């Protein structure tokens, strides 16, 4: 049934007010989480975000060191690409760690937006490296050979990164933190890359004419990350300028 004009006007007014309310918060240098969470809840979730970031750093650093060692010992291109991506994951989690290191700035919009701008730059650098490596592998017809070590690391990475991504998405939603959600997206990409190494090797084993799957997935992932990074920078750079006056809040 059609909505009566009066109810429709009230609904539009409510939507308009909620939009203005959110903008009003940003103008005061606060995130939406400042109205949703009680102070003790906000601090509890902040500590969880710090824990997840530390776990993420330790896990991805261990995977990066292991994969880099193998790439040097066995001249493995796949292992090197994997190690490089894991290193960028470590940087990404370190930025979230900085974002939530100050208890007083848990709802700080300025700190949030700075973290997002740095993450946007990391995403662009990451995408350039992933695409260059993938195109190089495709041009040189690098075959997807996976030894036992790389297989183990890929499985571990795929599972751990996906689990970390889900936790980061959940915390990011509660804390209304685009930085945490972006870091979660980065972890998800790490998980997908881990599984893609296995998928490519498995497909190649059964059909040797399909050698290009790993490189193609790499190009696709690189372009996706690049688009996300550009969108993030376009959204966040103006907001950093808007909230610059609230640095004292931190």
Question: What pLDDT, on the 0 to 100 scale, is given for residue 183?
Answer: 92
Instruction: Give the residues across from 108 on adjacent strands.
Output: 30
Distance CA 31, CA 26 (A): 6
Domain boundaries, the chain: 38-249
Band of residue 115 on the pLDDT scale cut at 50, 70, 90: very high
| Total count of residues recorded for the chain | 250
90: buried, middle or exposed (CB in 10 Å: 19+, 13-18, 0-12)? Answer: middle
> Mean pLDDT of all residues in the chain?
81
Q: Tell me the helix, strand and coil percentages in the chain, rounded to 5.
A: 85, 0, 15
- The residue ranking higher by pLDDT, 250 or 85, is 85
pTM of the model: 0.79
pLDDT of residue 20: 45
pLDDT reported for residue 19: 46
Indicate the pLDDT class of residue 114, thresholds 50, 70 and 90: very high
d(CA 167, CA 184): 8
* Closest C-alpha to 162, from 138, 133, 184, 137: 184
Residue scoring higher pLDDT (200 or 7): 200
Which of helix, strand or coil describes residue 143? coil
Taking each helix axis from N to C end, the angle separating 148-174 and 178-206, rounded to the nearest 10 degrees, works out to 150
Confidence of residue 105 (pLDDT cuts 50, 70, 90): confident
Q: Is the pLDDT of residue 21 over 50?
A: no
Tens of pLDDT, residue by residue over 160-171, are: 989 999 999 999
12, exposed or middle or buried, with CB in 10 Å at 0-12, 13-18, 19+?
Answer: exposed
pLDDT digits (tens, 9 = 90+) for 204-245: 888 888 888 888 888 888 899 999 999 999 999 988 888 776
Q: In sequence order, which residues have a C-beta less than 8 Å from that of residue 12 and are 6 or more positions away?
A: none
Tokens of 152: 């183990």
User: What is the CATH T-level fold of the domain 38-249, as seen in this structure?
Assistant: Alpha-lytic protease prodomain-like (1.20.1510)
pLDDT digits (tens, 9 = 90+) for 134-192: 898 889 887 777 777 778 888 888 899 899 999 999 999 998 889 999 999 988 988 88
Question: Is pLDDT at 97 greater than 50 in this prediction?
Answer: yes
Q: Which residue has the higher pLDDT, 18 or 48?
A: 48
Both tokens of 101, joined, read: 């290191």
């Amino acid at each position: 049934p059609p909505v009566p004009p009066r109810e429709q006007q009230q609904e539009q007014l409510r939507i308009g007010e909620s939009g203005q309310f959110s903008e009003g918060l940003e103008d005061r240098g606060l995130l939406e989480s400042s109205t949703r969470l009680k102070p003790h809840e906000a601090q509890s979730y902040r500590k969880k975000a710090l824990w997840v970031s530390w776990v993420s750093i330790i896990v991805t650093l261990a995977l990066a060191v292991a994969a880099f060692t193998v790439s040097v010992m066995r001249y493995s291109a796949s292992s090197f690409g994997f190690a490089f991506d894991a290193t960028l994951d470590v940087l990404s989690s370190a930025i979230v760690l900085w974002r939530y290191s100050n208890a007083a700035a848990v709802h700080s919009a300025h700190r949030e937006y700075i973290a997002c701008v740095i993450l946007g730059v990391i995403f662009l650098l990451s995408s350039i490296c992933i695409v260059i490596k993938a195109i190089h592998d495709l041009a040189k017809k690098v075959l997807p050979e996976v030894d036992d070590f790389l297989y183990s690391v890929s499985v571990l990475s795929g599972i751990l990164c996906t689990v970390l991504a889900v936790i980061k998405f959940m915390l990011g939603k509660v804390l209304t933190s685009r930085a945490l959600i972006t870091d979660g997206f980065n972890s998800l990409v790490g998980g997908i890359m881990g599984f893609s190494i296995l998928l490519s090797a498995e497909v190649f084993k059964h059909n040797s004419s399909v050698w290009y799957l790993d490189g193609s997935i790499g190009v696709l992932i690189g372009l996706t990350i690049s688009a996300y990074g550009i969108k993030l920078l376009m959204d966040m750079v103006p907001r950093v300028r808007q909230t610059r006056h609230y640095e004292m809040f931190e």
